[in-house]
Amino acid sequence: MHVSIVPAALLGLAARAAAIDPLVIKGSKFFNSKSGEQFFIKGVDYQPDITSTSQIRDPLADKAGCTRDLPFLKDLGVNAIRVYQTEPFGNHDDCMNMLADAGIYVMLDLSTPTETINRASPAYDADLLGYYQQKIDAFGKYDNTFAFLAGNEVANAANNTDASAFVKAAIRDTKAYIKSQGLSIPVGYATNDDAAIRWQMQTYFDCGSDDERADYYGLNVYEWCGDEATYVTSGYADIVKNYTNWDIPVILTEYGCNAIRPRTFPEVAAIYGNNMTEIFSGGFVYEYVEEDNNYGLVTVKGSSGSKTEDYDNFKKALAAVKPSGVKMSSYKASGKQQDCPKVGTQYDWLASSTLPPTPSNATCECMMKSLSCVAKQTTMPTSTKDLATFGEKV
């Protein structure tokens, strides 16, 4: 067991509620709940402590890691991070309060690589919902937790879009749980923006009742590559056009093509410029930590970090933009909710608008008790002889 002595001043930091105004959604925009100013996400995808094992690493329970990384985040000028993998079991007070003090909001993926809906064999049960609820309990108490994601690129091709119904059921049930806890944190979905299913996907997560549709929508986009690309040739203009008159916020949950290096991030001027800010609410550049895929802004080694060649370029690009928004009091939401897409292979869409029911262990137990065929033998066979007669004992 590891034991450490924590100074009283740091205990005070963990115990208090950091001063940061919660964010709210009105129509297709995020707003500061106190000032009424429109909020544009100037974020970075944050998942340090990558390991070669399947073990989940929770960076928001790592005070030393947050202490190491916070100066870089502040220097970059970001106001939000997206964290892909966390666990509900650790103590997150130090990291969340440090981030709040720096004016940094947090978007959290509810799923992990081991606790998720599998596109190849989609299923959604009480254990998965319970895990999501535990994570909501762990992070819902922080004012800088501004959004949850119920899925990330779960369906990525026409032949596995049926998995989207399970994700949407998870959105419905986590929204209901958040409401039951007296919280007001939106739940959304992030897609890989595959052109073949782009329209079907975005309309599916916007259609239906308010109880079951996404509160906001995220796109992982890597289409703007290098200084020679433009708003039109990169495909950004087409993406934005698809969300004209949308009724919920749309953000870039990942962006930052690295086909041409070093990255100079010319797309930042467009994301926070007049072409996009009427529809998009900013985004998260991919990514904070340097990995083998060479997307990182910072190389992390133990308790220290160093800037990569992309770091200053992103910092410069972000500092140059000053998006102009509207006041919440004068904003009148006018977006239009979408109809659900047609279902069928000819429409490249397999997810029904009728969602799976809310999973419940109590329902499963009731169903088992109602079965007329119940095994008389309660122990499994342990030998070939027992196996031969096992079927006669039911």
CA angle 149, 137, 250 (to 5 degrees): 20
pLDDT at 19: 83
**CA-to-CA separations, 49 to 22, 52, 301, in angstroms, rounded:** 28, 10, 9
Q: Around Cβ 325, how many Cβ atoms within 10 Å?
A: 16
Q: DSSP assignment of 238-289, as one string?
A: HHHHHTTT-SS-EEEEEE---SSSS---THHHHHTSTTTTTTEEEEEES-SB
CB 155 within 8 A of CB 161: yes
Among residues 258, 249, 260, the alpha carbon closest in space to that of 285 is found at 258
CB 251 within 8 A of CB 41: yes
Section 99-123 average pLDDT: 96
* Cα–Cα distance, 325 to 323 (Å, whole number): 6
Is the pLDDT confidence value at 17 over 60? no
Residue of 87, 153, 223, 278 with catalytic role: 153
- pLDDT band, residue 365 (cuts 50/70/90): low
Among residues 339, 338, 325, 330, the alpha carbon closest in space to that of 29 is found at 325
Q: Around Cβ 381, how many Cβ atoms within 10 Å?
A: 14
* Cα–Cα distance, 235 to 128 (Å, whole number): 36
> 342: which DSSP letter?
P
CA angle 106, 325, 142 (to 5 degrees): 20
pTM of the entire predicted model: 0.88
79-83, 226-230, 354-358, 390-394: the lowest-pLDDT one: 390-394
127 versus 372: which is more confidently predicted? 127
CB 110 within 8 A of CB 31: no
* Cα–Cα distance, 208 to 392 (Å, whole number): 49
The whole-angstrom distance between residue 303's C-alpha and the CA centroid of its chain comes to: 27
Section 109-136 average pLDDT: 96
CA angle 362, 366, 371 (to 5 degrees): 150
* Cα–Cα distance, 240 to 232 (Å, whole number): 10
- pLDDT band, residue 57 (cuts 50/70/90): confident
* Bridge partners, 254 (sequence order): 220
Phi-psi region of 282 (alpha: psi -120 to 50; beta: other; left: phi over 0): left
Among residues 279, 245, 306, 252, the alpha carbon closest in space to that of 69 is found at 306
pLDDT, tens only, 171-221: 999 999 999 999 999 999 999 989 999 999 999 999 999 999 999 999 999
87 is catalytic: no
pLDDT, tens only, 303-327: 999 999 999 999 999 999 999 999 9
Percent of the chain with pLDDT over 90: 82
Among residues 200, 214, 218, 110, the alpha carbon closest in space to that of 160 is found at 200
Percent of the chain with pLDDT over 70: 85
3-7, 171-175, 193-197, 382-386: the lowest-pLDDT one: 3-7
153 is catalytic: yes
pLDDT at 374: 45
Q: Cβ neighbours of residue 279 under 8 Å, at least 6 residues apart? A: 28, 240, 243, 244, 246, 250
13-22, 61-70, 159-168, 231-240: the lowest-pLDDT one: 13-22
